[in-house]
Amino acid sequence: MSVLTDQQRKFYEETRKVTKQEIADLENQIQEELQRVKQRIAELQAAQKAARQMYDAACQRLGVPNDMEEQGTE
């Protein structure tokens, strides 16, 4: 490896420092976005579960089989 001048060393040290911070900031953004997605999925799954329960109850009241249950989608 060639020897760096003081100016080159300062440039690369500053680049390394700035890039390291940028990577940390991006990681934080990724984690925040991932948390939002997980929360939204949990909300959708809860709504789906409630809808399935209502569907099952309607099937029972009508005396018909729950076709969603047979498909293994419950």
Q: Is the pLDDT of residue 3 over 80?
A: yes
Q: Can you tell me the mean pLDDT for 39-50? A: 98
Q: Is the pLDDT of residue 71 over 80?
A: no
State pLDDT tens for residues 7-44.
999 999 999 999 999 999 999 999 999 999 999 999 99
> The pTM is what?
0.69
Spatial neighbors of 59 by CB under 8 A, at least 6 apart, are 65, 66, 67
Q: Can you tell me the mean pLDDT for 44-59? A: 97
For residues 61 and 2, give the distance between their C-alpha atoms in angstroms, rounded to a whole number.
82
